[in-house]
Amino acid sequence: MRTKEQRIEKYTKKNKEINQAQLRNQIRNKKKSVAREQELEIIVNSIVGFDILRGHYMIYAKQLNKLMGKYHSDILDSEATILQNVWRARGLNPDTMDIIDPAVGFIKAPSTCGRFDVALFDVDVFCGW
């Protein structure tokens, strides 16, 4: 049977190895996020220029980027629409925001609208608001 000191030494060594691996992963993820943030800054600066609202457009681009990593498909579309409405209400130009969206990588999913027959019933498909 191991002594108390031997057990403590074993788990201390194992925890150091785990902590080193976690630290390496955190550093790698931080480098990726810093690189992406620099890309976003270049994109926003090239689109907006030296406008007084450049910082707000940068925040909008970061929030949109965060949503893209968190959600997908229809949920992403609805969350992005909410985000766009919030920032439009805060005074950002909708045309500039529409230019930033695809530059950041957000492309709105196409909606299916129209009318089609299902057996004997005519069905209207409503899209958007």
Q: Give the domain range for residue 54.
A: 4-109
Please tell me the distance from the alpha carbon of residue 43 to that of residue 124, in angstroms, as a whole number: 40
Task: Evaluate if pTM is beyond 0.75.
Answer: no
pLDDT means per 10 residues, the chain with 129 residues, are 78 74 82 87 86 90 90 87 93 90 77 53 50
The pLDDT of residue 10: 77
Angle at the Cα of 101 from the Cα atoms of 111 and 80, rounded to 5 degrees:
60
The pLDDT of residue 84: 92
Domain total in the chain: 1
First to last CA, the chain: 71
Residue 20 lies in a domain: yes
72-98 exposure pattern, b = at least 16 Cβ within 10 A, e = fewer:
eeeebbebbeebbeebeeeebeeebbe
Query: β-strands 121-125, 114-118: how paired?
Result: antiparallel
Angle at the Cα of 112 from the Cα atoms of 127 and 94, rounded to 5 degrees:
60
The pLDDT of residue 101: 87
The pLDDT of residue 129: 45
Residue 118 lies in a domain: no
Residue 129 lies in a domain: no
The pLDDT of residue 89: 93
Residue 116 lies in a domain: no
Residue 90 lies in a domain: yes
Angle at the Cα of 82 from the Cα atoms of 77 and 85, rounded to 5 degrees:
125
